[in-house]
Amino acid sequence: MSKSYNVAILGATGAVGRRMIEQLAQSTINVKSLKLLASSRSAGTKLEFKGQALTVEETTPDSFNGIDLVLSSAGGSVSKKFLPEAVKRGAVCVDNTSAFRMEEDVPLVVPEVNPDALKGHHGIIANPNCSTIQMMMALEPVRRKFGLKQIIVSTYQAASGAGQSALNEMKQEAQDFLDGKDMQADARILPTKGDKKHYPLAFNLLPQIDVLEDSGYSHEEWKMIHETKKIMLGDMNSDKIKVTATCVRVPVPIAHGESIYFMVEDTSATAQDIMQVVADFPGNVLEDDIKHQIYPQPINAVGKRETFVGRIRPDYENAGAFNMWVVSDNLLKGAAWNTVEIAEYLDKMDLLHQ
């Protein structure tokens, strides 16, 4: 008989939090009780878990009394404020935000890729950024078999990655555009909430995700580079794999796309070999049949836990280099499902305790 747990979801009313409730209901985790936490704004809201209506509560440090497992997705500052309180009270926290990802004693985990990193946890486990996760799923099987020297990635990131309010904003802009109205006035959140200027996303592309840094890169690009090194090599600053990224927000509601150019160490690898290892990796679906125009598309990935990979082809001008196209639901494998899957691994590995 597996253990049962008192679980709390922090940020339960958000785009990710609502999917955490769904994914937890479908998981192998034996839930003794579930507490739904958010801010005072949505305290009193009722949400359903396994057919039962639960009332959302305002979060306070004492919300975590008696909780074994916290699934957290309410933004970095909320995690920084509350997760140490939850850990103090004995809970294990799986955090979806970037708050703790780069701390040395915090494992950064994609369960199919580096499950053993969970063994070193001290109460907090970080879920990587959505764009990093799907890239790790596509490239880890390649790294294991052929070695990886370099990754050059351009992302095509869905509006929902910036939260429910960003998705609503894009839909309003699209409506206004079609009605012949000015859509500039609707832009209040994107490219990123805290920044000085806001631009419409509907019928547009925004090459800024998260804040822009003095280096010239956006913080999202920085995350992809350093999270990749921490997950694949155990060192966020390793130079063993060179990584660079361009992150772009596109007017797609859900599911991120990525165009990935990569170089392997074993130059005898063929595109067929790459397809084989990608297809054999658990959690991946190879959709690569150019004769029949089969390739991954966001509209087909929505609601799925898998990572979809296609358009795998060699760079005929550069031995050992390839291109691929990767799509996954940013709210599921990129966030809620990867978090719940980490909790399933912690349970199975008997690590759901401090």
Minimum CB separation of residue 42 from ligand NAP in Å reads: 3
Question: Which of 196, 203, 219 is CA-nearest to residue 159?
Answer: 203
Whether 256 is a known active-site residue: answer yes
Minimum CB separation of residue 158 from ligand 3JM in Å reads: 11
Residue 241 structure tokens: 């794999």
How many residues make contact with ligand NAP (CB under 6 A)?
28
How many residues make contact with ligand 3JM (CB under 6 A)?
8
User: Binding ligand NAP by CB under 6 A: which of 23, 85, 93, 96?
Assistant: 96
Minimum CB separation of residue 234 from ligand 3JM in Å reads: 20
Distance of alpha carbon 281 from alpha carbon 225, whole angstroms: 22
Residue 313 structure tokens: 């082809």
DSSP string for 272-319: HHHHHHHHHSTTEEE--BGGGTB---HHHHTT--SEEEEEEEE-TTST
Indicate whether 155 belongs to the interface with ligand 3JM (CB under 6 A).
Answer: no
Reduced to 3 states, what is the DSSP secondary structure of residue 126?
A: strand
Nearer to ligand NAP, 206 or 274 (CB): 206
Whether 130 is a known active-site residue: answer yes
Site residues (CB under 6 A) for ligand NAP, limited to 246-285? none
Minimum CB separation of residue 53 from ligand NAP in Å reads: 17
Indicate whether 168 belongs to the interface with ligand NAP (CB under 6 A).
Answer: no
User: Binding ligand NAP by CB under 6 A: which of 21, 24, 130, 209?
Assistant: 130
Residue 204 structure tokens: 């547009």
Indicate whether 314 belongs to the interface with ligand 3JM (CB under 6 A).
Answer: no
Distance of alpha carbon 73 from alpha carbon 71, whole angstroms: 7
Sheet holding 124-126, edge to edge: 57-58, 30-38, 4-10, 69-72, 92-95, 124-126
Kindly state the helix (H) or strand (E) to which residue 171 belongs, with its residue range: helix 164-178
Among residues 130, 219, 226, 247, the one annotated as catalytic is 130
Among residues 121, 219, 226, 256, the one annotated as catalytic is 256
Residue labelled with tokens 């090194």: 229
Nearer to ligand 3JM, 54 or 153 (CB): 153
Residues that bind ligand NAP (CB under 6 A): 11-17, 38-39, 41-42, 59, 73-76, 78, 96-97, 127, 129-130, 161, 163-165, 334-335
